[in-house]
Chains A and B, each alone.
Chain A
Amino acid sequence: MRAIVIEDDLTIQQQVVSRLKKAGFVVDCADNGREGLYLLQEYPCDVAIIDLGLPVMSGLEVINAIRKEGKNTPILILTARGRWQDKVEALDAGADDYLVKPFHHEEMMARIRVLIRRASGWSDSRIICAPLSLDTTTQRTFVDDREIDLTAYEYKVLEYLMVHAGEVISKTVLTEHLYDDEADNDSNVIEVFIRRLRQKLDPNEDLKPIETLRGRGYRLTLTRVEQASVK
């Protein structure tokens, strides 16, 4: 998954980026609103973490601008100003959730995962496309009840395909969401990951979970199953 972090306090920015990277995210960051808006407009991302009190252009202005352009990127706002008026204004402007500083990073990650699932229509931390199931919290993968051992990048590819189950995902998009810009990207690496996934998930080749659409990309063929929300 790819995230954009817009936070002017560099220490907090680095802490958030570090936490996201640890969770397997590719992260772009900016320390002012204008640069952050540019990143949001130019680069695809699965979630944006935006501080409200930004220089040059405020977080609220960034949110207003990106929503006006019709982008539905899930947005989590960070704010030291815990006033309800500020929270409501930001949520009314288009943010999807808020976090008041200081916050626990586990809480931040949990809210980010919820926003990503929500954007894809998933309401639970377990994504199920039977017989495949993936727990986004523990990052464990199962085929029926059998746990499958995946590498970090294999997990990332599978997670992206399952979150966007039924959608055609191009190699480019996959690459952008798995690697940061500085990495030496090779589209063949994606092919290798796809092949390995097929071998691990479907050794007998009777499931065929991932479909290749020549010239277009890949698509998860398994039907998504909505699990009843745990209340």
Chain B
Amino acid sequence: MIVLVIFMILMAIALEKAVVKRALQAEEDKLQVMIYSLLAAVDKSPDGLSVTVSNERVFESRLMTRDSGLYAILYDEHHQQIWGSRSSSESAVWKALPKAKNIDVGDWQFSTQPFNNKHHFRLVFAILWPDTNDQLNRYNVVIWQDAGGYLRQLDHFRQTLWGWLSITIVLLLSVMYLVMVWSLRPLKKVGLEIKAIEDRKQTGFEQNYPTEITPLTDNLNILLSREQYQHQRYRDAMDDLAHSLKTPLAVLNGLTDNDSLGRAELVTMREQTARMNQIVSYQLQRVANVVGVKINKPINLITFIDKISAALEKVYKEKGVEFKSTLPGSILIRMDESDCYEVMGNLLDNAFKYCQDKVHINYIDTDDDEIELNIEDNGSGLDSLAIDRILNRGTRLDETNEGQGIGLAVVAGLVKSYNINLRFEPSVLGGLKAVLALQVVSS
């Protein structure tokens, strides 16, 4: 657009220059014609030794009108005025007019001269004229014209040219801008959808696009689907690997029931198989968390909490845990379903495992699109150092309770990958409170 504007301006400048040049040429031509008509009125002076102009034969009426702005003077070779038109001879102007310098005979000299605070055109023509003795004498014919009219016309032309050019440029720019905005709108939509995909708000391009953009969005959707598929394949492969590693570990673990083994060997074997199991579980879970970009549709957190709590109430039936939930029917969050199971499963399982007989779950609205989910128990609680230790890899604080020992470390890794803040605090119930700061999706 800028190039077009510059081009148009340069064109206008060229046009202006051409017009000015042509106009000047036209003025010179007009003055030439006047000089020729003056030459037609030239006659010998009465003494025959010089020439003069017969006023009766001067056809240009402005030369006869005082202060008309058009003046003609005839000079001899000594720059003495031998004739002046009535427009100059009856005014003091001609006396002040600067004299023209000698030019070669037969040459024309056209110039613009300032005089009396005005611009004037001046045309000088040098001639030879014979006197009665046939001696050729040199004379200069000079004609002056007030350039005011010309300049006024030129100004008017310039105003018209630049005025219309400005209007044209503004209109052109406006139209081009509107066309650009309209034509780039689909690309802007593409940009917004890419942002939504990056923010995990959608899994692909969902809007309709013009046929020019459709190949781009279709191919990107294919790429995203492939990425999701690869991600799922990788997770499944990791899962299969875990399964295949854990089975031999289970066999080794079973050997610890062999009474023929010594006590020390039994203890060592159990320790090592437990360690191997923790390493396998934790590292595979970590790898599965960081693979690829997880793009998640909203899920209802309540559905997962209900399923997990029902399962845990079955497992811990003998404990007679009172599970109380004050959550609404729906809380939508963006998270992979499997990850949601892991986070909520591990947190709730810990609450059920370590509680005396109460597990409560509630929430607080902290912002328009953020809540704090609280899972509390009435167990013995933990101090901050202990919490730090269990959030780190593979540390088990309570060896008497069954479990993998890495559950909370897995949770810590998972919530970090979703930029979810997790902290632990003492609960009013007397035990531990897990607090999750969750971004919710407005329905």
Query: Which residues on B sit within 8 Å (CB–CB) of A92?
Result: 307, 310-311
For chain A, residues 29 to 60, give those with C-beta under 8 angstroms from any C-beta of chain B.
53
> What residues make up the interface of A, taking CB atoms closer than 8 Å to B?
9, 11-12, 15-16, 18-19, 53, 80-85, 87-88, 91-92, 96-98, 100-105, 107, 114, 118, 123-124, 229, 231
Number of interface residues of B (CB under 8 A): 41
Interface residue? B156 (CB, 8 A): no
8 A-B contact pairs sorted by A residue (CB < 8 Å) = A80-B243, A84-B341, A88-B311, A88-B341, A91-B311, A91-B315, A102-B246, A102-B250
Interface residue? B254 (CB, 8 A): yes
Q: Which chain A residue shows the least CB distance to B355?
A: A231
* Complex CA distance for A96 and B402, rounded to whole angstroms: 16
Interface residue? B228 (CB, 8 A): no
Whether the Cβ atoms of B315 and A19 lie closer than 8 Å is no
Given A102-B253, A231-B357, A87–B319 Cβ distance below 8 Å? no
Query: Which residues on A sit within 8 Å (CB–CB) of B320?
Result: 123, 229
* Complex CA distance for A53 and B402, rounded to whole angstroms: 22
Query: Which residues on A sit within 8 Å (CB–CB) of B318?
Result: 114, 118, 123-124, 229
Q: Which of A87, A102, A103 has the most CB of B within 10 A?
A: A102
* Complex CA distance for A188 and B274, rounded to whole angstroms: 48
Whether the Cβ atoms of B250 and A80 lie closer than 8 Å is yes
Query: Which residues on A sit within 8 Å (CB–CB) of B251?
Result: 9, 11-12, 15, 102
Q: Which of B242, B274, B344, B346 has the most CB of A within 10 A?
A: B242
Query: Which residues on A sit within 8 Å (CB–CB) of B308?
Result: 84, 88
Interface residue? B239 (CB, 8 A): yes
Q: Which of A100, A101, A231 has the most CB of B within 10 A?
A: A101
Q: Which chain B residue shows the least CB distance to A110?
A: B402
Query: Which residues on A sit within 8 Å (CB–CB) of B247?
Result: 9, 12, 80, 101
* Complex CA distance for A84 and B239, rounded to whole angstroms: 13
> What residues make up the interface of B, taking CB atoms closer than 8 Å to A?
239, 242-244, 246-247, 249-257, 270, 273-274, 277, 281, 307-308, 310-311, 314-315, 317-320, 337-338, 341-342, 344-346, 356-357, 402, 404
* Given A82-B246, A82-B281, 6 new contacts (CB under 8 A): A82-B242, A85-B337, A91-B314, A102-B254, A103-B250, A123-B320
* Complex CA distance for A123 and B357, rounded to whole angstroms: 15
**Contacts across chains A and B counted by CB atoms under 8 Å:** 102
Smallest beta-carbon distance B365→chain A, Å: 27
Query: Which residues on B sit within 8 Å (CB–CB) of A12?
Result: 247, 250-251, 254
Whether the Cβ atoms of A83 and B338 lie closer than 8 Å is yes
Whether the Cβ atoms of B307 and A101 lie closer than 8 Å is no
Q: Which chain A residue shows the least CB distance to B243?
A: A80
Given A80-B242, A88-B341, A231-B356, A98–B250 Cβ distance below 8 Å? no
Query: Which residues on A sit within 8 Å (CB–CB) of B344?
Result: 84
Query: Which residues on B sit within 8 Å (CB–CB) of A98?
Result: 315
